[in-house]
Amino acid sequence: MTSGRVTVVAALGATQTVAWASSYYMPAILGAPIAKALHLPTSVFFGLFSGALLLSAVVGPPVGRLIDRHGGRHLLAASNLVIAVGLLILATAHNIVGLVIAWTSLGIGIGMGLYDPAFATLPGSTAATHVARSPGSL
């Protein structure tokens, strides 16, 4: 493996770890305390998280088409910003409205930047000799 490929794979691995930890796995640790702080049932928090996962599925096909047309580097970078915005909104939420807005942003960011978009982007980023079609283009 060339040093360029090692760098790309290492960077992708690091960013994927942070993105998954701060979006998909975060509710397992912080869901109950956030719900308690907002005086909401835990089921409401996790219901909104489930809605975010459904939203990520909805944005998947358009994201796949964007990756097919333009590559995924910029989209993956943007996904990190969208997730960061969602986390900032979540951190400052004072009620269910803030929670809905936060999980909407996080759902879009999850759909833009977790495994499927990352792996659809990887072959082009490592100068592979074949072209991989992203899952959203099917």
Give pLDDT tens digits for 18-42: 888 888 899 999 999 999 999 999 9
In a 13 Å sphere around the CA of 123, the CA atoms on its Cβ side amount to: 11
For the ranges 6-20, 25-39, 62-76, 103-117, the maximum mean pLDDT occurs at 25-39
Mean pLDDT, rounded, of the chain: 86
Instruction: Give me the pLDDT at residue 127, please.
Output: 46
Give the residue carrying structure tokens 């097919």.
68
Contact 64/120 with Cβ under 8 angstroms?
A: yes
Instruction: Give me the pLDDT at residue 30, please.
Output: 95
CA distances (Å), 22 to each of 62, 75, 84, 116, in order?
Answer: 23, 18, 9, 17
Q: pLDDT tier at 88 (50, 70, 90 boundaries)?
A: very high
CA distances (Å), 113 to each of 68, 71, 128, in order?
Answer: 14, 13, 21
Instruction: Give me the pLDDT at residue 131, please.
Output: 44
